[in-house]
Chains A and B, each alone.
Chain A
Amino acid sequence: MEAISLEQVCKSFGEVRAVDELSVRVPEGSIYGFLGPNGAGKTTTIRMIMNIIRPDSGRISIFGDGTFELVKRRIGYMPEERGLYRKMSVGKALAYFGAIKGVKASELSSRVPWWLEQVGLADWADKKVEELSRGMHQKLQFAVTAINDPELVILDEPFAGLDPVNQDLMKDIIGQMRDDGKTIIFSTHVMHEAEQLCDFILLINKGKLILDGSLEQIRSQQRSGVVVAELEGETNFIESLPMVTAVQRQGRRLEITLAEGADPQQLLRIAVERARVQSFEVKVPSLHEIFVKLVGKDDAKDF
């Protein structure tokens, strides 16, 4: 079953088409990454899912339900712009948001300390929110998002502004949530974050869908057609093979670019016949390379 489905969703701000006929299905229990450069339409899409802005056309349903208010309490949302009441104490702010998200008071008394412990803010419970550093503030914001134990967690740029240690902490918690069967959507413009975490990826640029699918699927579809091989013996025959378009040599290491539609297995068989193969690797493209290939260098320079 789908946690979220978007059908032909459009949204314009004045002349600018922020989101253009976007359709996505997010399966339950997965981590879905919304990727794209700045201004691609990620935040607009998330805000439409959260019913903060309304799409000009198209249909959005969450847990199969078109009425947002009915499913609201099953969602945790961390907006791109972080904000909490500055004058409240950390513990009280977390408890307050838990309460308005419908968590019972009896449960809050155990959940608030547990979450503060999770994000490493247990010692800060009585401090005011304004005393927190940026990174701590963001971790508290994450705790606020998760305090109602949501089935669907939507995080807009969750790692922006965190140091590597805290990024790992957040990734661990997100991984844990997925293991508990929750659905997680997060947006990022940093590709390697998505590669580490995501099961599925949605790549958008200028409001248009570029790619959508599981990480593996995308990688195999978007094979770069490059093989890295280490061969011993006479290797000049490689250039003359019809399936090969280019060879770059670094000592014994060869980077072989295959012709469109050529099968790396074929190349391997020929190589084994003619030389001694030390290593043979079909190069898996990074998301970055895929993106550059699909949208061109200019649009990809933010990555």
Chain B
Amino acid sequence: MRKIFKIAQREYIETVKTKTFILSILITPAIVGIVLVLVNRLSRDISGPRPAKKVVVADLSRELGDEIKGAFDEYNASRPERQILLEELQVDEDSEEITKEKVRKGQLDGYVVLEEDCVEGQGKIRSYTCGTKIAELDLISNVENLLNSAVFNRRCELRDVSQELLTELRELRRRVPVERVDIGSASEEKRIKAGQEAVEIFVPFFFMILMFTGIFGMGQHMLTSVIEEKSSRVMEVLLSAVSPFELMTGKILGLAGISLTVMSLWGITACVSAYYGAAHWWGINIDIPLEILPYFGIYFVLGFLLFSSLLAGIGSICNTIKEAQSLMMPISMMFVVPMVLWFYLVQHPDEMLARVLSFVPPLTPMIMVLRLASSEHLSFLEIFASIVLLALSVPAVMWVAAKVFRTGILMYGKRPGLWEVLRWLKQG
């Protein structure tokens, strides 16, 4: 037992130390983090304080001057931290080129021309900006809104609409506030803010990806480790100290440690960003179904044992990573199924397809976690049956893998074919 632990310990430390491992586990949370920070920056730019912007407006109709000034003043009065300053109100296009040059040099943030017959005719508002940043896109649309309300006011004025009526009209056009409620869970009705549904559909997907990473994503390290021991001929020395079974068990345990490390790193990152990030920045509460964690644990342990022993077996009969990769193809192909179907399965977690796939042992962990996270009506019997089937298949796979491993690790030269491997199973 102490030997197995020692092997696991070495396996863990030597893998965790490698640069590829550190990069591979940091890169995903890093990308997610960068995206979140960028989105946050972007949204803060849209609503937070920023230095005053300067624009020049040319009113070719020559009749909107007061309205335009009034609209800008009203806007700036209510937003002291996001001022839009009307640098100059021109009445013709004589200084068009000079003004555009100023925009190009960055002395101005925008130049907007109201065409002559824009009040009654088909005249346009033409906006000129230079190298607009995404975060400033709202500047021009705000200016355009201001000019539009100036035109609206002018039109009302021309028709003798009274100020009182105007105020009343504005009041009448007020939007009705919306509140969406999910009544799926009868006890705690949860309010859904805009965007929440879109985010929540990714929660089951995330659980599935986490399971995938946990049971299979770290398999590359198992292959590398077994093949390195074979190619560096360290195997015979190892086998003079430990039995093949101890070696395989130690490797599986070490890999389990690595998987748990990665899963907890990613899981914690994801929970933190979901709880704090989403709530803080987007104002939505993502409901993480933490109650499925015990099931997640069971499926993880079984799925992990299944795949890591399978990979140990595959690694043992290969001499190079390249050889191993061709054997990995069918296994990787299997994982395409949940990856392609997840969107459908999340929306139909209780239908026949989802049920059938839950009873294909290699797929059980991923499919079941996906279903558990997206449906609240899974019968306990179904969960239990899927666990039993998976649990029965694990010792069978481990038995085969251990047999193959015992013979395979000392085979050099040509990779044995399927028939030869089957012969080992019969012999052993």
Task: Please give the residue numbers on chain A whose beta carbons come within 8 Å of chain B beta carbons, in ascending order.
Answer: 47, 50, 52-53, 69, 72-73, 75-79, 81-88, 96-97, 99-102, 141, 144-145, 148
Contacts and interface: CB of A to CB of B under 8 A. Distances in A.
Contacts of A87: 14, 18
A79 B233 contact: yes
Contacts of A78: 237
B425 to A, nearest CB: 16
Given A99-B6, A100-B3, A102-B2, A83 B243 contact: no
B233 A83 contact: yes
A88 B14 contact: yes
B10 A77 contact: no
Interface in B1-16: 2-3, 6-7, 10, 14
A77 B14 CA distance: 24
Contacts of A96: 6, 10
A50 B240 contact: yes
Contacts of A84: 232, 234, 237
A77 B3 contact: no
Contacts of A81: 233, 236
A145 B14 CA distance: 22
A136 to B, nearest CB: 16
Given A81-B236, A85-B232, A100 B410 contact: no
B242 interface: yes
Interface string B1-35: 01100110010001000100000000000000000
Interface in B234-252: 234-243
A82 B240 CA distance: 13
B242 A85 contact: no
Given A84-B234, A85-B232, A87-B14, A102 B240 contact: no
Contact of A97 (B228, B236, B241, B410): B241
Interface in B207-255: 228-229, 232-243
Contacts of B233: 79, 81-83
A85 B234 contact: yes
A100 B242 contact: yes
Contacts of B242: 100
Contact of A72 (B228, B234, B240): B240
B427 to A, nearest CB: 10
Contacts of B239: 50, 52
20 contacts: A50-B240, A53-B410, A72-B240, A73-B241, A78-B237, A79-B236, A83-B229, A83-B233, A83-B237, A85-B14, A85-B228, A85-B232, A96-B10, A97-B241, A99-B3, A100-B241, A102-B3, A102-B241, A145-B237, A148-B241
Given A50-B240, A75-B240, A87-B18, 5 more contacts: A50-B239, A84-B232, A84-B237, A85-B234, A99-B3
Contact of B240 (A77, A85, A88): A77
Of A75, A88, A100, A144, chain B has the most CB atoms within 10 Å of the CB of: A100
Contacts of B228: 85
Contact of A144 (B18, B237, B243): B237
Nearest to A68: B243
Contacts of B236: 47, 50, 52, 77, 79, 81, 83
Contacts of A69: 243
A99 B241 CA distance: 9
A73 B2 CA distance: 13
A88 B2 CA distance: 20
Of B229, B232, B243, chain A has the most CB atoms within 10 Å of the CB of: B232
Nearest to B238: A100
A53 B410 CA distance: 9
A198 B242 CA distance: 30
Nearest to A75: B240
Interface in B46-82: none
A148 B237 CA distance: 13
A101 B241 contact: yes
Contacts of B410: 52-53
Contacts of A144: 237
Contacts of B238: 100
Contact of B237 (A73, A79, A86): A79
A4 to B, nearest CB: 15
A97 B229 CA distance: 14
Contacts of B232: 83-86
Given A88-B14, A102-B3, A97 B237 contact: yes
A73 B410 CA distance: 20
A3 to B, nearest CB: 16
A145 B233 CA distance: 14
B36 to A, nearest CB: 36
Contacts of B7: 100
Nearest to B7: A100
Contact of B234 (A77, A83, A101): A83
A82 B232 CA distance: 8
B103 to A, nearest CB: 59
Contacts of A100: 3, 6-7, 238, 241-242
Contacts of A101: 241
B151 to A, nearest CB: 73
A52 B239 CA distance: 7
Nearest to B427: A54
Contacts of A52: 236, 239, 410
Contacts of A47: 236
A164 B243 CA distance: 36
